[in-house]
Each structure stands twice: as C-alpha cells, then as structure tokens.
Amino acid sequence: MKIEDVQSQTKKQRIATHTHIKGLGLEVICEHPPGSQIFYFYDDSIDEETEDIDDEIPYVDPAEGARQVNGEAIRLAAGFVGQAKAREGLGFVVDMIRQKKMAGKAVLLAGPPGTGKTALALGLSQELGSKVPFCPMVGSEVYSSEVKKTEVLMEHFRRAIGLRIKENKEVYEGEVTELSPEETESVTGGYGKSISHVIIGLKTVKGTRQLKLDPTIYDALVKEKVAVGDVIYIEANSGAVKRVGRSDAFATEFDLEAEEYVPLPKGEVHKKKEIVQDVTLHDLDAANARPQGGQDILSLMGQMMKPRKMEITDKLRQEINKVVNRYIDEGVAELVPGVLFIDEVHMLDMVCFSYLNRALDSSLSPIVIFATNRGICNVRGADMTGAHGIPFDLLDRLVIIHTDIYGPAEMIQILAIRAQVEELVVDDESLAYLGAIGQQASLRHAIQLLSPASVVAKMNGRDSICKADIEEVSALFLDAKSSARLLQEQQDRYIT
C-alpha cells in the first residue's frame, strides 16, 4: 500500500525584497493624540453606552491621526535596523501628512546603494495606512513611445491624490425575513401575470418592519440574488438594492460554502446612513476620458482598434478640478493628499524637472518623495552637472534626508531578519561570515547568498546553514566588485 503526504493548499505569500518592512519603527506614545475628538456615528444604530451623546459633537475621521509618536526611532523595530535619523525625519513627514500640512512639498532620500531608501518609502506607506494613496514609480517609466513624459508624470501625480466622498442616505437596512411578490393579472391581456408589488420583511437588533415595495425594486432584488436570511439595504430615494452578505445566524448551515457572513444590523430598520467612497483624481480622469461607445459592431471594433494608452487633455482635467473644488466647498467631499514616490529620480531629464517645478506649485499636489543613489553627475537633457543628477532650482525646493552605510553589527541583524522571513535556520558563525561578506562586497549580495546556501545545506542532509555552505556558494557566485576586478585583470581577453 502506498501512503503519501497531502500537500497543504494554503496560499503562501511570496517573499519579496521588502516583505519584512512593517512601518518606520518609531516609538508610540498613545493611540489617540491629546486634544483630538472622538469619532461617533450619530444615528439610530448608536450603541447603548453612547446614547446620551449630544449630536452637536463634531465628527472626526478615525483614519486621521490614530497614533501619536514621540519621533524617536527604536533601534530594531518594524523590520528596520539602524537609519535612526532618516526614520525620525520621515516620522515628522508622516505627522505633517496626517495634519495636511505637507501638500505640494517634496523630500529627497539620498544615500549609497543598499542603504534602505526604498525600504524607508515603503515603511512610510505602511505608517500612513491604506486610506492615504501611495503611488510608487521609477524615473525610467516616463520614457514611453505612446505617451509624453509630462503626461506620465501628471498621471502619477493624480493617482497620488485621493478624494473621500461622503454622502448621507436614507436607507432601509436589515436581515430579510420575508420575501413574497404579489402577482396580478397582466394589464396587456393574455394568460401571463405581472408583479404588482412585493412584500419584504426586514429585521434588525431593535425590531422588525414589513415593507411594500414597487415592482421595479423586485427586479433589483432578483438581480442581486437576494434570499431570506440575507442582509441588505435599500436606498429610500433611488430604490437601489445592495446585498451586504448572509446573516451570521446561518454561519453553521453548511460545512463548506463561499458566503460572506455579516452581523445583524443595529438600530432601527429605517435610518440615515453615511456612505464613504474613496477614489483618486486619476480614477475620475479615466472614467470621464473613456468614450461610451454604442453596442453595434462598428463601435465595438473601434474600441478594440484604439490604443490601450490614451492621453487625458488638460481641458478635461481642469473641468474635473472645478467639479472637485465645488464638492469640497459644499462639504460633500474631502481632499486626501497622498504620496508620490519617484525612485531613481536621476533618470528624469530637464523637461521632467521643469514640469515638476510647476506641478509642485499646483493647489492639487501630493507629497512627492524622490530617491537617488547618485552623487555629483550629469543632469539628463542638459550640458551641466548637478548634485544627485538634479538641477539646483529643483534641489533647492527639497528637504534632503541622507541614509548611512550599515555597520557590521547592523548587517548581521538585517541578515538574521531576512533568514527569519525566508524561514531559514542560520547559526551565529554563518551570520558573522555573511556580515563580513556584506562589508567587503555589499549587503544585497550577502542576502542573495542565503537562498542558494539553504539549497546546499539540504543537499548535504542538514536543515540549518553552516559556514561551509556559504563558502561553497560564495565561490560559485561573484559580487559586482569581484567581477569588476576580474575584468580589470583579464581585460585583454574581452571585446571592448
């Protein structure tokens, strides 16, 4: 009889270069900053403990300023080791973004290769959370044969600006307890029958209610596949139906199912509900720029023949900006300036740099973070040199944060974190040897030796990596400095 182990079907997360980064690793004083107002939903669904709250209390978005930090970087936290000054500097940037005092300003992360500039930007995005747009790009992305360089930059600028649209709607919400359509003889004659109205029962924690609905709403209920036991809400003005999920009272109905279970709604069936929707300005641009063709074959063929990438005109963007500003003035929407991260900024040319000067002055501008590993080098598209490959007039606008080269102890700690993330067992002697390789070559090269060393260890029948495994793989794989030295020694054998 043959017996085999069944492999787990659980989806594993792919381990990337910066999987271990969970934030900036700054010391937290408290979860709610002093002087901030508490957020309350004041409607029929309010909890028993908060029923005596005066409804004049101003509302505060819970996503804003949920944590307060004292600015000090913890030496080993959130996947970060060292770079205390850079992390503390970005901590102030995070606070300014949350207070909305940073729009239209720019930061430059400058430092040698392998000092954690991209990791710092990703840590900043983790600190801001999912509610604040974070749009990363590389400088070389602007060079496209389909779209102008300035258009690519503006598209990413608009992706990094969020718009939070708040709408108060009168809804009927609850778990469906009854769904019975009433039929009547068809007015057109014949043997068919038509739906005259539909009786629906909705239940919440506070009570139940029976509603008599228009037949057009019954069509929406059928389209949403609503059944008894589902939690739904119906908009009172438009009659739109939204199925939220299955009531959690039916959670043990089957052993295996693909339903999403939701709790029974609180409050009364009839209530006012605030619906919040988050979009970016680029979403609005794309939705309005896409032509709505007909359903005939010529229109469909025309849409298929069009290029995938299309430029959005300045005139359309100005019209959208007018509508957005009107929404903001009316209090319907709120602007959320996000973060645009441009890595390898030295790859941009003078056309892009002059465009960035103008874009940063715009009233609708995100926080821009540049990163580069270049020193004094040529500015692309101009016969001049500049610090970090950036012209002086743009460099003068930036707040510059420098990253430092890691020491031997910090390299060993980073290697230990990477080994833990990749689920590898490495002894202390091997970590020290890898740290020495990192000092001689680079930290990236030392990290890249971990995976092949684990393969060698398994081939030798061991679960843990020892120094001999690393010596074997380091003899097989050269680092950049060793390769350059070999080229120098054997340059007469290569074609130049």
pLDDT digits (tens, 9 = 90+) for 5-59: 444 444 445 666 777 777 787 776 544 444 444 333 333 333 433 334 333 333 3
pLDDT at 438: 86
Is the pLDDT score of 463 beyond 80? yes
- pTM recorded for the entire structure: 0.66
Query: Cβ distance 275 to 169 under 8 Å?
Result: yes
Count of CB atoms situated within 10 Å of the CB of 298: 9
Query: Mean pLDDT, to the nearest integer, of 466-480?
Result: 87
pLDDT band of residue 295 (cuts 50, 70, 90) is very low
Domains and CATH numbers, the chain: 26-31+67-160+338-402 (3.40.50.300), 166-277 (2.40.50.360), 408-493 (1.10.8.60)
Query: Mean pLDDT, to the nearest integer, of 217-234?
Result: 84
pLDDT at 66: 46
Query: In Å, what is the CA distance from 179 to each residue of 63, 183, 271, 441?
Result: 38, 13, 21, 71
CA 453 – CA 127 distance, rounded (Å): 34
pLDDT band of residue 394 (cuts 50, 70, 90) is confident
Say which residue, 296 or 344, is predicted with more confidence.
344
pLDDT at 209: 86
Say which residue, 254 or 445, is predicted with more confidence.
445
Looking at 194-198, 244-248, 445-449, which range is the least confident one? 194-198
Axis crossing angle, helix 149-159 with helix 281-289, rounded to the nearest 10: 120
74-104, pLDDT tens digit by residue? 777 777 787 888 888 888 888 877 776 666 6
Handedness of CA 265, 267, 268, 270 (dihedral sign): negative
pLDDT at 197: 81
pLDDT at 102: 63
Query: Mean pLDDT, to the nearest integer, of 443-454?
Result: 87
pLDDT at 47: 40
How many residues make up the chain in this entry? Answer: 496
DSSP 174-201: EEEEEEEEEEEE-TT-SS-EEEEEEEEE
The three-class DSSP label of residue 100 is coil
CA 85 – CA 369 distance, rounded (Å): 17
Exposed (0-12), middle (13-18) or buried (19+): which is 463, by Cβ within 10 Å?
exposed
Looking at 44-58, 159-173, 341-355, 454-468, which range is the least confident one? 44-58
Looking at 121-130, 398-407, 476-485, which range is the least confident one? 121-130
Is the pLDDT score of 141 beyond 80? yes
CA 372 – CA 117 distance, rounded (Å): 8
pLDDT at 33: 45
Q: Which percentage of the chain shows pLDDT scores above 70?
A: 79
pLDDT at 257: 56
Please choose, from the candidates 404, 329, 469, the residue with its C-alpha nearest in 3D space to the C-alpha of residue 86. 404
